[in-house]
């Protein structure tokens, strides 16, 4: 169940868009000669943590375990789909980084960062001086 936010459906839809963009990026080929500016496993960790934080700001806290499992399954799906591409290959360590990132995001959300969406909406609603 979504939090009682004014723009809950917008936040949720934006999260789905982020998932789709992540999937496209994970299945796209990287042009030869393009150096990755950041470690691949670190990108998996940070991306998964951000997704968990995003959705934990939209869903009620009791859905944390469901979000953890769903986003971990999303990481597994990406790895499985990469095995079907010519330019990408699945890596077990990528999945480990994904799950670690989801766990990190969950811990950060429990620590209070899940209130990002509520806080942002309160800024929208506050009167301008």
Do the domain assignments include residue 32?
A: no
Range of the domain at 22: 8-26+37-125
Do the domain assignments include residue 57?
A: yes
Question: Range with the lowest mean pLDDT among 34-48, 56-70, 91-105?
Answer: 34-48
Do the domain assignments include residue 3?
A: no
What proportion of the chain, given as a percentage, has pLDDT over 90? Answer: 78
Do the domain assignments include residue 87?
A: yes
Q: What is the number of domains present in the chain?
A: 1
What is the value of pTM for the model shown?
Answer: 0.90
**Interval 46-70 mean pLDDT:** 97
Instruction: Render pLDDT for 78-119 as a digit per residue (tens, 0 to 9).
Output: 999 999 998 888 999 999 999 999 999 999 999 999 999 999
Do the domain assignments include residue 2?
A: no
Quote the Cα angle for 98-17-20, to 5°. Answer: 55
């Amino acid at each position: 169940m979504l939090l009682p936010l004014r723009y809950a459906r917008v936040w949720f839809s934006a999260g789905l868009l982020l998932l789709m963009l992540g999937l496209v990026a994970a299945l796209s080929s990287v042009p030869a000669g393009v150096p990755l500016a950041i470690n691949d496993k670190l990108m998996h960790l940070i991306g998964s943590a951000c997704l968990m934080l995003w959705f934990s700001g939209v869903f009620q806290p009791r859905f944390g375990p469901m979000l953890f499992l769903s986003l971990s399954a999303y990481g597994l799906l990406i790895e499985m789909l990469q095995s079907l591409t010519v330019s990408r290959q699945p890596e077990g360590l990528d999945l480990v980084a994904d799950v670690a990132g989801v766990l990190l995001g969950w811990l950060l959300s429990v620590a209070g960062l899940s209130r990002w969406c509520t806080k942002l909406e309160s800024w929208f609603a506050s009167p301008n001086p």
